[in-house]
Chains A and B, each alone.
Chain A
Amino acid sequence: MINALSSGLEREVEERSGEKARLCYQCGKCSTGCLFDFAMDVLPHQAMKLIQYGQKERLLRSHTIWICAACETCTARCPNDIDVARVIDSLRAMALEEGIKPAERSIPLFHACFLGNIQATGRISEPILMGSYKTFSGDLMSDIGLAVEMLKKGKIKLIPSVVKGRREIRHIFKESKP
């Protein structure tokens, strides 16, 4: 598959992440150590190569950028000190800002619900987070058994803990908007 080249991709990634993808010489240590490789369509070292090739579309539409769990094994093992996880963070942010339809629908939705919860109350509360995610994803049936078990063990607090400085938190969100 050949997509239109975007020669500025390397530079764009560097501006966002401070990381130089061109330093990657394809040793493959990042992909060898990646525990999520079985669920990825582009392996981490391939992603670095695609950045060098300017294959922006292909990367921003990949499953990989959402499947990466940011465990940073790749970053820890890179012999050239490239923070691969940070590079993938920057690809996710680019995909969101450019309004690209994500290959994994539920994952960016979860992040939006998570951040929405912080924006509203300053802290994460399981009922708000799980409630909003389950509602928006339409995945209402899974985890009912788990929720019951968690309630029984007192692991879900129905009254959320809320920060006093809610206006400050809302301000942080407003001013941090890309």
Chain B
Amino acid sequence: MKSYNFYPGCSQLSSAEEYGVSASQVSEALGFHLETLEDWNCCGASSAHMTNHLLAVALPGRDLAKAKERGGDLVVVCAACYHNLKKAQIEMLEDEKLAARVEAIVGMDPHFEGRIVHLLDVIAEEIGLEDLKEKVRRPLEGLKPVSYYGCLMVRPRGMIENDDPDNPRLMDDLMTTLGAEIKNWSYKTDCCGGSLSLTRTDVVVTLVNRLFEAAEEADANCIVVACPMCLANLEMRQKEGRLSFGLEHDLPVFFFTELLGLALGLPSAEEWFSRHLIDPRPLLYGAGLA
């Protein structure tokens, strides 16, 4: 079985555990293995690059040095990790002075020349949507998702390899392949306000509700994402909460790996769905999918 180095990212160990688990299981079912990068550390997320540029390269620099030692490509599922690792890689490969500085700091060679790929790309390249169609056990009939990419996978230009940064289609095509009726909307790459979630919740609530309203207007019955920050924000930030937690919209939000796992007939899919703050099970029961 083909094996890839895998950078899980912090969210996939806690708030988005179902994303990491479903990513690994879906990969196995499709015939490749994700091998976690030994002793990886946080990429620094928004807080590093927003306040200290050198730190924002040096933190991923340690991960890239470890990936270089292992050889091969590096697969990522979190859009933010993907963005930060890839940016650090490009900067260090283009700026030798910076790379030398990072090398001195981390004590390892950070010139990683392998590819950093999002799992979406791996599935499209490695399996191909035509072949994937053959593997679908349970077509997702009755699901009408809009795909929501957010910012960090698609920007800046060139960030996503096999897709259009202004109107990405990969997740849409994947959902169509799985038998879902994908809906068009104009909010695919709008920001959800991830980094302000705890600090300016008011701003984030405005953006998140706009997204739900647009999804409802597009006649969608769920939203599919490829970023744990987007999913967390959509599920948690429909209202400014204090003592009680509330929802304005009940449209379930899925990781693309969860819907892929469901369509492939993986038995553990039910466990993933039980972890969502917006319970997707009524929708799935209604569609005869669970």
Range class of the A interface residue count: 35 or more
Q: How far is the CB of A21 from chain B (nearest CB, A)?
A: 16
A118 to B206, CA, bound (A): 29
Name the residue on A nearest B190 (C-beta): A35
- CB <8 Å contact, B242 and A118: no
Instruction: State which of A83, A111, A165 has its C-beta within 8 Å of the C-beta of B51.
Output: A111
Is B114 among interface residues, defined by CB-CB distance under 8 A? no
Q: Tell me what chain A mostly uses at the interface: helix, strand, loop, or mixed.
A: helix
Q: Which residues does chain B contribute within 8 Å of A67, judged by CB atoms?
A: 196, 200, 203
Interface-facing stretch out of A5-13, A44-52, A53-61, A144-152: A144-152
Q: Which residues does chain A contribute within 8 Å of B45, judged by CB atoms?
A: 114, 124
- CB <8 Å contact, A168 and B242: no
Q: Which residues does chain B contribute within 8 Å of A96, judged by CB atoms?
A: 51
Q: Which residues does chain A contribute within 8 Å of B2, judged by CB atoms?
A: none
- CB <8 Å contact, A161 and B151: no
- CB <8 Å contact, B10 and A142: no
Is A93 among interface residues, defined by CB-CB distance under 8 A? yes
- CB <8 Å contact, A126 and B14: yes
Is B165 among interface residues, defined by CB-CB distance under 8 A? yes
A77 to B239, CA, bound (A): 31
A106 to B47, CA, bound (A): 13
Q: Which residues does chain B contribute within 8 Å of A104, judged by CB atoms?
A: 199-200
With A164-B39, A172-B59, A172-B106 known as contacts, the answer to whether A108 contacts B242 (CB < 8 A) is no
State the B residues within 8 Å of A (CB).
Answer: 10-11, 13-15, 17, 39-42, 44-55, 58-59, 61-62, 104-107, 151-152, 155-157, 165-166, 189-191, 193-196, 198-201, 203, 206-207, 236, 240-246, 274-277
Taking A75-B156, A104-B199, A145-B246 as given, write out 7 further A-B residue pairs in contact, using a Cβ cutoff of 8 Å, ordered by the A residue number.
Answer: A67-B203, A115-B51, A123-B41, A124-B45, A141-B243, A153-B277, A161-B13
